[in-house]
Structure 1
Amino acid sequence: MTFLFFLSYSGEDARGGYVDEFYADLADVLMRRTTEPEDSIGFQYTGMREGTLWRPEVADVLRTCRVFVPLYSPRYFRTRFCGQEWGAFAERQRAYEQRQGCLPELIVPVLWETVFAGDADQIPRIAADVWAKSKELAGPYQQFGLRRLVKLKTRFGDAYDDVVEHLAGVIIEAARQYELPASDDPLDFDAAPNVFESTDCGTEALVPAQRVGESAGGGPRHVHLVVAAPTVTEAAQQRTDVVSYGNRSEDWMPYRPVEPRPVVRCAMRVAEEQDLTPHPVGVLDRLSELLDKAEADGELVVLLVDAWATRIPAYTEALTPYDSRLYGNCGVLLPWNPADEENKAHEKELHSSVLSVFNRNARLPHPTFRGALHSVDDFMQALREVLVRIQSFVFEQHDVPELANVGAFVARPQLEGPGAR
């Protein structure tokens, strides 16, 4: 499917749901002013259904979409995936220029935040070369950025409507004027350069300012995925079926046979989706020191806990430091496979052992302590939500962080199983 436009934005800017709101308003105007089918108007990440392999999906859309709409903000130009998305679309523009002799003006920038108010050198050259200061959109939009207008519609409703109508018109005219061929080579997120940093693309290297809560040695771009699960030898002392275990804690595969990969691999995928650098480690590797250092450096920690591990002394001892405090930068997830016969047979005992280890965290209404995750989809969605919360805690440094909208957030169900409340 060929989309009329691709909305490119930093996941950090999606907090509060304002990106979704703007996207919906823009799509509504485009549907009213064109004959484009509703399902091909625009593409944004939160429109993907659960379970979609997002990398090939996004790569294919970038290979064929007609207009590229980036949301300018300081965070946008610091996000690797955004630089890769821009680069993929820019390659298609250059290919068109080589064949037709002119560069198609198919990038329609949106000032999400006021990036032009400070040092202009903080904007990559590849973006600074695209004019974003339309005289038709002076006033609150240029002064505050579109996010403020979306947030305060009651105050800036007319100005906001004018911006959306104007942007829709620019998108329609650009798509009408230029017919950009699809690329033969889809974007490879593992190999593609970030054009916001690449000097090969004629772009000034960006050295982003240090963010709130982020130290020079780490920061909330790093997440430690700590696996608390026994090895196959240790598991054999507790249960009969040990097919889900391996030689290391990180080999634990709780969702077999539906998901044959270790759960930490699934967690790493979610972290990379959110532009985080994952660091998988076993819980026996000095958890207490890791927690203290991560808190000092503003890094994130997520414990992936097998309920069976809470019956093994070495693991209960290792996990004890976590429950001694309430860490705002940490979360706990307890995968639970309801198809596992031994899980069902020992559910009450396992529930009790989990409560004994996480006596404080499991008994409080703690949004970053998530138990009884019955499927890999439940697990991955819960991890997305937990990562947003604990990253926001570090960014904002308060107890009730503003939530990002990172997909279909679901109400937390009251499920049976260890860790459920």
Structure 2
Amino acid sequence: MMARNYFYLSYGHSVRLRADDRPDSDHWAGQLFTELSAEVARLVGADRRTQVGYYDNLVQPLTDWKAALADVLSSTDVFVALYSPGYFNKSWPLRERASFASRYADPAMADHFLVPVLWVPWPPWEHETERSSALRLGSGIPEYADEGLQAMSRLALYRKQYRTVVRRLAYRIVTLAAEAPRPAPLAVAIDEVTAEPTAPTEILFTVAVLAPQRADLPGGRAEDPYGNAPRSWTPYRDLHQFPIAEYVANVAERLGQPARIVDRPADLGVLDQGAALVLIDPWLAATGDGLARLTGLAGQIPEWATVLLVADRTDPEYAARGTALHATVADTLAAAGIARNRITLLRDADRLVERMPSIIDQACTAYRRHAPVFLPKGADTPLPRIDGGPDA
């Protein structure tokens, strides 16, 4: 049974430009969560170490975010939304909000337990209802309306006003939580609700998986990391048994990119329809048709796609054969026309988790830079003449 959460903090994730980035929005949202949790714990008389709130950075790496957040949102009393332009331009935070609201048949009841915060201001003529509701929290504090709570959290000049808003927010959470229904109604899973961004900039992100399945494992390979389809592959099998393709797709969706997974050779043709990341298990090279499958990638992986070889350096079977398998895969792909500088090897789960947001962002950037532009079909229309003749 999930523990009760007084509040859930929802925000629009930032884009990472490098693997070691800690974007401002993510950092300051995390700081707000810590301070808000401490204030809520103080108001309810809980130990400061007791978890009283939740936000999605608490989900363990390589687990199913969608399933985890469905449970969390079902056990949360109050939904705190950090409104910003990025919040309304990405489907993930909007779907978090819609999932929470789905618990109540009456939309007014859902709104009652939703506390909006002006995190980053936007033009007053956009999202006027959300803006008006978010401004109430900072009544009498002009800096809140002018700068937003994120800027206030960063500037020592506004520290007193920031603390006032945080205390107000904590008090509002505790007050509403006392009114929350028991037992708590269940939330609809995030992937079962729809919420369209108001200014969509999303592109389709395809995760392709090339890995063995249990039916065709090479001799001497343990079957634990594999399932009945390549998409079931879990290279870091000690980490929650969550397939890596699902993990990558979840990260992409949190960053605002609708994602899909393909794992059949016949489906690889869709890679040219958007940004793409190809995950390859080096053990594929040791299967009966593995080299043929790798060679067959020629012409199927567009020039903007990212190729990632994934292995577990702690796997004793990989330790014995990994270097040779990696070299075989890289040589085969190079012979198929895929440049070696497009192939990255990751052998550590922590490193993969750290780098994945930037890998996804870079794949999307590469697609925008290199993807072909398709003009509308139809007959060419002659340009009008301006010489004053009969066709003018």
TM-score where L is the length of structure 2? 0.67
Counterpart check, 1:3 vs 2:5: yes
Instruction: Go from structure 1 to structure 2 and tell me whether the alpha carbon gap of 1:110 and 1:12 turns closer, same or farther (over 3 Å shift).
Output: same
| 1:57 shift after superposition | 4.4
Partner of residue 417, structure 1: none
Match of 1:108 in 2: 115
Asked if structure 1 preserves the Cα contact closer than 8 Å seen for 2:90 and 2:256, the reply is: yes
Amino acid at match of 1:110: V
- Quick one: which of 262, 279, 284 aligns to 1:304? 279
The structure with the largest alpha-carbon Rg is 2
Number of positions where the alignment pairs a residue of Structure 1 with one of Structure 2: 350
Letter in 1 for 2:170: I
- 1:353 deviates by 1.6
**Structure 1 contact 286–318 (Cα < 8 Å) conserved:** no
Does the C-alpha gap of structure 1 residues 54 and 77 become closer, same or farther in structure 2, counting only changes over 3 Å?
A: same
State how 1:388-407 maps to structure 2 within 5 Å.
388-391=358-361, 394=364
Relative to 1, partners in 2 of residues 1:52 and 1:394: Cα closer, same or farther, differing over 3 Å? closer
Q: How far apart, in 1, do the equivalents of 2:35 and 2:310 lie? A: 38
The answer to whether 1:138 aligns with 2:142 is yes
Deviation at 1:165, TM superposition (A): 2.3
Question: 1:209 matched to which residue of 2?
Answer: 199
Secondary structure of the residue aligned to 2:181 is: coil
SS, match of residue 226 in structure 1: strand
Structure 2, gaps ≥5 residues long: 16-21, 370-392
> Given the alignment, which residue of 337, 356, 378 partners 1:386?
356
AA aligned opposite 1:21 = Q
1:119 aligned onto 2:125: yes
What is the identity percentage for the equivalent residue pairs of Structure 1 and Structure 2? Answer: 20
**Aligned equivalents of 2:199, 2:186: Cα separation in 1:** 32
Checking the alignment, whether the CA contact within 8 Å between 1:68 and 1:107 is kept in structure 2 is yes
Aligned to 2:385: none
Corresponding residue for 1:408? none
**Is the Cα contact below 8 Å between 1:88 and 1:187 reproduced in 2?**
yes
Answer whether contact 1:320 1:357 (CA < 8 A) is retained: no
Paired position in structure 2 for 1:47: 58
Distance 2:165 2:366 in 1: 34
Unaligned residue ranges in structure 1 (runs of 5+): 198-205, 400-421
1:26 to 36, 43, 50: 36
Q: Does structure 2 retain, via aligned residues, the 8 Å contact 1:226–1:302? A: yes
Q: 1:202 maps to what in 2?
A: none
Name the structure 1 match of 2:185: 185
Shift of the 207–242 alpha-carbon distance from structure 1 to 2, 3 Å rule, reads closer
Distance 1:302 1:48, change over 3 A: same
Q: 2: CA distance between counterparts of 1:11 and 1:181?
A: 30
Identify the match of residue 315 of structure 1 among 289, 293, 298: 293
* Correspondence for 2:327: 352
Check 1:340–1:270 CA distance in 2 against 1; reply closer, same or farther (3 A cut): farther
TM-score scaled by length of structure 1 = 0.63
Q: CA 1:30–1:335 in structure 2 vs 1: closer, same or farther (change >3 Å)?
A: same
Residues 262-302 of structure 1 deviation map (CA, whole Å, 9 limit, x = unaligned): 65455445555656433223474486x655x35xxxx3322
1:332 corresponds to which residue?
308
- Letter of the aligned partner of 1:82 in structure 2? P
2:119 maps to a residue whose letter is W
